[in-house]
Amino acid sequence: MTIIAFHHTEDDLLCIADGLISRGENRVIEQDKKIVLFNPVYKIPKVSMGRFNYFSLYNAGEFGLAYAGNYTLISTIIKNFIERVTRKLVLNRSNNGSPAIYWRDDEGRGMREGRYTDEYNFSDSEIIDVTVNFLANILQEICMSACNDFAINSMSPPDIELLIFGCDNPTHKNPNRAQVLLCKEYKEQQSVIARYSVLPWALTLLGDSSVTPSALSLIESSEEYEKPDCHVESSGWDSECLASKNRNSVRLKREKTIKSEVLRIINNDTGTIGGSCTIATSGWTNKLILKTIRKEGLLKEIDAVNQELAP
């Protein structure tokens, strides 16, 4: 399996994953990167004199995808997902004339044969933002197809845990978002996919269920993992509570506490968790940075984090 830890605020995020791929009790790969960064793109057709002229591109910024579960199934899902969101999305008009993003397996080449009125072109106000929710909708559709295929052919239930995250619109400083998609069951000839949003300031742990509950409890009970003194609304810490604290100091303590415990678990190298470690972070610029720590460097990183946590 795996361990994935994720924590985010409106402006910052931290995602950690181990690097071990195993098959049963056998270790296969120790240096996999279980966090994938990608840049969604969709094509905007431009027409003139009733004919297709060219495509311009809408670049949606950078997003991340972390995964745990059956590696064969996940590899298929990620390959199909990345291909779709980076090559096969095209802005078009629906039957009522409103703009909508469509998936085209021909990557839009078939549009070159069409006839269009000059009113077909899209204004700046009609450009559609790419959000985490939009990407999760596509990911869910691909997961359903792949998981059904897997269950039918392998005669066993699918096993995937996916976390998709990023800033909905970095140009307008929209906050970070994240969603989790899980599929563990196949019932009545259909895969059962659970999906939920991750709240800001809430720690999410995915992966090996024999490890994650105790790790979550240990992290959240730590003195350094500071909790709010006020009521927590359904959307996370309320603004008045956050304003009363040193927001950045609280966030850093929480992130370092998470890193210390998760890196320790990975360094223990037992069961289905181990190998190298991949860490994704972003700050106020919303730029995602990916860092890999090799297995032999984990102890040094743990010592550095613990020294920063020391009073």
8-12, 46-50, 262-266: which has the highest mean pLDDT? 262-266
Task: Report pLDDT digits (tens) over 52-110.
Answer: 999 999 998 899 999 999 999 999 999 999 999 999 999 999 989 999 999 999 999 99
Closest CA to 162 of 22, 66, 81: 66
Task: Report pLDDT digits (tens) over 31-43.
Answer: 999 999 999 999 9
Task: Report pLDDT digits (tens) over 144-189.
Answer: 999 999 999 999 999 999 999 998 876 656 689 999 999 999 999 9
Task: Report pLDDT digits (tens) over 222-273.
Answer: 988 876 554 444 445 545 555 545 778 888 999 999 999 999 999 999 888 9
CA distances (Å), origin 11, targets 174, 211, 237, 251, 284: 9, 29, 14, 11, 5
What's this model's pTM, rounded to 2 decimal places?
0.91
Question: What is the Cα–Cα distance from 141 to 131, expressed in whole angstroms?
Answer: 16
CB burial class (10 A; 0-12, 13-18, 19+) of residue 27? middle
Decide: helix, strand or coil at residue 13.
Answer: strand
Task: Report pLDDT digits (tens) over 290-304.
Answer: 999 999 999 999 999
Decide: helix, strand or coil at residue 1.
Answer: coil
DSSP letters spanning 16-45 = EEE--EEETTEEEES----EEEE--EEEEE
Give the orientation angle of helix 132-154 with respect to helix 71-87, to 10 degrees.
Answer: 140
The chain-wide mean pLDDT, for the chain, equals: 90
Mode of pairing for the β-strands spanning 51-59 and 41-48: antiparallel
**Predicted local distance difference test score (pLDDT) of residue 243:** 53
Decide: helix, strand or coil at residue 259.
Answer: helix
